[in-house]
Amino acid sequence: MLWSWYFMRMAKTSGKNKAETGLEGQFNFVEGSYLESTSRPWYALLFLLPLVGLYEAGTQLVSAEQIAEAPRIMAFTWLMGLAEWIGMDRSMAWAFPGLVVVIILLCWHLSSQNPWRVRPGWIVWMGVESLVLTAPLFVLGTVMHSAGSCVVFAVVNDGGVATGMQEYMAKIVTSIGAGIYEELVFRLILFGLIIMVLEDAMKVRSLITVAIAVLVSAVLFAVHHYVGLQGGEIVRLEEVKIGSFVFRMVAGIYFAVIFRYRGYGITAGAHIAYDIIYFTVS
């Protein structure tokens, strides 16, 4: 019942129904245009599906030791834990997070009743747009670095710089997973649920609801890089530093804004592109 409500609510905030919801500050892109169409869940699914496959394949091809030493994706770990909790074998639980992405986007698309027609060229442009949207994050990182702050965005293992191709590939794999599953948890699910509860159930004004959703999802996004759940216990993942925390929180706000106006696909794409570029140049 809850998920049915969720999909119906998310459908109202996508595509041609945006204008009918009275959401203040929501851009109403021309129906059928690139900006309007690629913000839909169907385009997000087609754009991200190859990346989901790459991540699943990468976790099998890259050695377990390198994956363990690479940046941790707590969001992926949580979803795996959920799969094991409901009774799935660990060997099958690896595929569960990707299946969640596909099911949510497909159900969201079906609820929105948007057309199935796709322009393949637009999926390519989604990749280009994702790359362009990383620019503000690198500008912010440069400014904070000049001010003497630590601006590490992704969680890096104690070894720091990659020492070989295997370790580099592990970081590329985890960059893809981080973009897909962190945005799934903190934007697509958490952001959507906050909007749904505050606006629909508690009748809070839309503008206030969005502001709360942006801030809460951004703060929790930053916090989860430092603490996580492993084996049912809360553990510290890395030392808390003011500079990195502020950067990650601002990045969370930025990703929430992208999600609000450009949808899950572009948000995850920008996150993936940032992490890959970061690890490549570092």
**Mean pLDDT within 149-155:** 46
Higher pLDDT, 164 or 4: 164
**Mean pLDDT within 202-220:** 90
The answer to whether residues 39 and 263 touch, using CB atoms and an 8 Å cutoff, is yes
175 falls within a domain: yes
Q: Is the pLDDT of residue 68 over 60?
A: no
Q: Which residues contact 197 (CB under 8 A, 6 or more apart)?
A: none
The three-point CA angle 101-77-45 to 5° equals 15
Q: Is the pLDDT of residue 159 over 60?
A: no
20 falls within a domain: no
18 falls within a domain: no
Higher pLDDT, 141 or 160: 141
19 falls within a domain: no
27-36, 112-121, 191-200, range with greatest mean pLDDT? 112-121
251 falls within a domain: yes
What is the domain extent for residue 277?
Answer: 2-12+31-113+120-281
What digits encode the pLDDT tens for the residues 71-85? 456 666 767 676 677
26 falls within a domain: no
Instruction: Label residue 1 by pLDDT band (50, 70, 90).
Output: very low
24 falls within a domain: no
Report the 3 state secondary structure along the chain.
CHHHHHHHHHHHCCHHHHHHCCCCCCCCCCCCCHHHHCCCHHHHHHHHHHHHHHHHHHHHHCCHHHHHHCCCCHHHHHHHHHHHHCCCCHHHHCCHHHHHHHHHHHHHHHHHCCCCCCCHHHHHHHHHHHHHCCHHHHHHHHHHHHCCCCCCCCCCCCCCCCCCHHHHHHHHHHHHHHHHHHHHHHHHHHHHHHHHHHHHHCCCCHHHHHHHHHHHHHHHHHHCCCEEEECCEEEECCCCCHHHHHHHHHHHHHHHHHHHHHHHHHHHHHHHHHHHHHHHHC
144 falls within a domain: yes
Q: Is the pLDDT of residue 221 over 50?
A: yes
What digits encode the pLDDT tens for the residues 174-186? 889 889 999 998 9
Query: How many domains, the chain?
Result: 1
Give Cα 94 distance to the centre of its chain.
18
